Amino acid sequence: MKVDFNKSPIMPKSLDYIRQALEKKVSGDGEFTQKCTEWIKNRFNAAHALLTTSCSHALDMAACLCGTKAGDEVVMASFTFTSTANAFVGRGAKIVFVDVRPDTMNINENLIEDSITDKTRAIVPVHYAGIPCEMDVINDLANKYNLYVVEDAAQGVMSTYKGRALGTLSDFGCYSFHETKNYSMGEGGALLIKNEDDLANAEIIREKGTDRSRFYRGHVDRYSWMAWGSSYLPSDINAAYLWSQLEYADEINTARLDVWHRYEEALRPLADRGYIELPSVPPGCTHNAHLFYIKTTDVESREGMIKYLRERGIYTVFHYIPLHSSRAGQEFGRFHGEDKYTTKDSSRLLRLPLYYGLKQDEAEKVVKQIFRFFSK
């Protein structure tokens, strides 16, 4: 029995909705785009939301809306995907990397203030594995130093911090609907926006620098080039696929959480014996079971486990190589303070199969083979 690492969900009406989009409107901002947008706003109590072609593009838009320019600095964790940094590097900013907390692999909120200078433009917390960063501390720092906060909530759809949805806790929140995420458009994302003035500018950026959105609403009699922009509208076909999942959002979330808790309970004896470490969810936080990871004692143990499991038909993967250790990271950024946990803990981290539709016997096989690995 092969156990895949990930499978994108196909829901009862996925193909029907895609067919409807083909028959009505293939391009952006059609019926299904509107449905998804309203669902996001209503479900998460978001002031404003725009579907985008990816979370990377949502981050690009956020960087632009922050007024990021050459010479600025942006604070974030090094343990993240390249898109988090690229959005700001593309506008000339220098990235200042800060160490992570070992319990969540999120940015250590207590190390941020020391990294802030008179050049700092924004703080970009990444909610790793859908587990929230300590947003109260981060927002207090932003208010103290007059900084923007951009949440990279790519993995955080359906997670909450003190009862509020990730992505809605700051100036801008960025979601991913990539095929590897809990809810998928294949490729896609969303930008959540707090302030009305930023929404007007975001619509212009998203519509190739024009005020076409205002034209379609009848606010102007013709649309024209207003500012820099690009094409960040996803096809309504992609939105149709996403909508077929959002209709079952709670069912998908519950099923993923069930697998997550099954892993946690079954693997706890190995953690108690010191073979592995398990994820931690801070008080006041809920997560969406975006991924389940374990940390082995060292990189050799992790690589050995990946090989051992793959030979038995189980596909597991490591995650990010810290950005500050890469060629581009060294060119476009710097690590502030001590790298106490980022490199060490990322080299021990291993992600287990987790997706909507993963069967109980498949999850049990994963657990059984992990125990066998350590017994050897």
pLDDT band at 227 (very low <50, low <70, confident <90, very high): very high
CA distance 209 to 249: 33
**What distance lies between CA 52 and its chain's CA centroid?**
14
Q: What is the mean pLDDT of residues 245-258?
A: 98
The per-residue pLDDT of the chain, averaged, comes to: 97
Q: Quick one: pLDDT at residue 217?
A: 84
Please give the C-alpha separations between residue 337 and each of 77, 99, 178, in angstroms, as whole numbers: 12, 8, 33
Beta-strand pair 189-193/48-52? antiparallel
Q: Quick one: pLDDT at residue 369?
A: 98
CA distance 153 to 112: 19
Q: What is the mean pLDDT of residues 53-69?
A: 98
- pLDDT at residue 222 greater than cutoff 90: no
Q: Quick one: pLDDT at residue 216?
A: 82
Q: What is the mean pLDDT of residues 74-91?
A: 98
- pLDDT at residue 219 greater than cutoff 90: no
- pLDDT, tens only, 280-295: 999 999 999 999 999 9
- pLDDT at residue 273 greater than cutoff 90: yes
Give percent above pLDDT 90 in the chain. 95
Task: Break the chain into its structural domains and give their ranges.
Answer: 14-246, 249-375
- pLDDT, tens only, 339-376: 999 999 999 999 999 999 999 999 999 999 999 999 98
Q: Quick one: pLDDT at residue 49?
A: 98
pLDDT band at 1 (very low <50, low <70, confident <90, very high): confident
CATH pick for 249-375 out of 3.90.1150.10, 3.40.50.150, 1.20.1250.20, 3.30.300.30: 3.90.1150.10
Q: Quick one: pLDDT at residue 376?
A: 80
- pLDDT at residue 254 greater than cutoff 90: yes
In the chain, beta strands by DSSP E:
48-52, 73-77, 94-98, 120-124, 148-152, 160-161, 164-165, 172-176, 189-193, 285-286, 292-295, 333-335, 349-352
Q: Quick one: pLDDT at residue 282?
A: 97
Note the CATH number of domain 14-246. Answer: 3.40.640.10
The crossing angle, in degrees rounded to 10, of helices 249-272 and 236-246 is 70
- pLDDT, tens only, 296-318: 999 999 999 999 999 999 999 99
Which residues does residue 351 pair with via DSSP β-bridges, in sequence order? 293, 317
Question: Does 14-246 match 249-375 in CATH topology?
Answer: no
- pLDDT, tens only, 94-132: 999 999 999 999 999 999 999 999 999 999 999 999 999
Q: What is the mean pLDDT of residues 224-253?
A: 96
Beta-strand pair 73-77/120-124? parallel
pTM value is: 0.96
Q: Quick one: pLDDT at residue 213?
A: 87
- pLDDT, tens only, 147-156: 999 999 999 9
Q: Quick one: pLDDT at residue 270?
A: 98
Give percent above pLDDT 70 in the chain. 100
